[in-house]
Homo-oligomer: A and B are copies of this chain.
Amino acid sequence: MKDTVFKGIIAYPITPFDKEEKVDIVLFKKLVERLVAAGSHAIAPLGSTGVLPYLSDEEKEAVTEATIDQVSGRVPTLVGVSNLTTEKTIYHARFAERAGAAAVMIIPMSYWKLSDDEIFRHYDAVASKISIPIMAYNNPATSGVDMSTGLLKRLLEIPNVTMIKESTGDIQRMHTLKKELGEEVAFYNGSNPLALAAFAAGADGWCTAATNLIPELNIMLYDAVQANDWEKARQLFYKQLDVLKFIVAKGLPRAVKAGLHLLDQDAGYLRSPLQPLEEKEVVHLKQILNDVTQM
């Protein structure tokens, strides 16, 4: 298999803000520490959960450095560096490499829908400027473009594009990728409610923000998969399914922040226009988290 550095549970921290909506780096480091301490197999700052697109260049750099400093080599770090322009994507990818990231994650953000050639050139331009591996991320719901199996095949010809994260929410896509791209590539599932089906399909890891709230259940599910104990995997999946569906439905940054607070962990503020969940939504989440704990 090509050079892959991740397996298991890849945990996505939120980016907390202070009351004035400035990034709170001290609190961020505490939230990263929780994820590492809970047994996460990797840490992935500056994803959708980390509200990457809402941050300035300087804020992205501070978050990158804070993550690598806090994780301190205990597990590998996957840094999100996606940007609308190629120039800025290169800029952040190089920064992440210099800062010590194990790999970078890149989604082809597109205000104007990009052609296959434009996407290929974009990845190729970035890849040629760094030495660490790239995880190509497909999520049409946020990027506005759905990368075909054929395009992903092309991207994998770029030497340091070695991993694929699939978040269309359609398990049939994962099957097709696995079947057509072969065993040489590492696949990561980015759709929380597909966790079980993706592992059944052969995914190497699960990219998730749920680890902020239910790390044991996430990791036990992966352990059951590794042990080929599918009856247990299924039980663990259904046990956590309501949490997975809730955080996806409400938006990961909002839902994780609310959940952390319910778990007595300060999670700071959101940046406008994002607002906290409504009270009734928080009550619903509390009920769900209680059910999970009691089961």
**Which residues of A line the B interface, CB within 8 A?**
21, 48, 51, 53-54, 84-87, 108, 110-115, 117-119, 121-122, 125, 142, 144, 169-172, 175, 178-179, 193-194, 196-197, 200-202, 228-231, 233-234, 238, 241-242, 251-254, 271-275
Nearest neighbor of A244 in chain B, beta-carbon distance: B175
- A115 contacts B275, C-beta separation under 8 Å: yes
Q: Are A172 and B200 in contact (CB under 8 A)?
A: no
A84 touches B53 (CB 8 A): yes
* A51, A230, A231, A233 pick with most chain B CB within 10 angstroms: A230
Q: Tell me whether A172 and B193 are in contact (CB under 8 A).
A: yes
Which 6 A-B pairs rank lowest in CB-CB distance, beginning with the nearest? Answer: A86-B272, A200-B200, A197-B197, A122-B273, A53-B111, A118-B273
Instruction: Tell whether A172 pairs with B175 under 8 Å between CB atoms, given A53-B84, A112-B274, A200-B200.
Output: no
- Which secondary structure dominates where chain A touches chain B? helix
Contact indicator B273/A121 (Cβ below 8 Å): yes
As for how many copies of this chain the complex holds, the number is 4
Cβ of A114: which chain B residues have Cβ within 8 Å of it?
Answer: 273-274
**Cβ–Cβ contact B175 & A193, under 8 A:** yes
Contact A234 B171 (CB under 8 A): no
B113/A242 in contact, CB under 8 A: no
Task: Please state if A251 and B51 are interface contacts (CB–CB under 8 Å).
Answer: no
| Chain B nearest CB, measured from A239 CB (Å) | 10
Alpha-carbon gap, A170 to B110, bound state (A): 23
Asked if B272 and A54 make an inter-chain contact with CB atoms under 8 angstroms apart, the answer reads no
Contact B238 A179 (CB under 8 A): yes
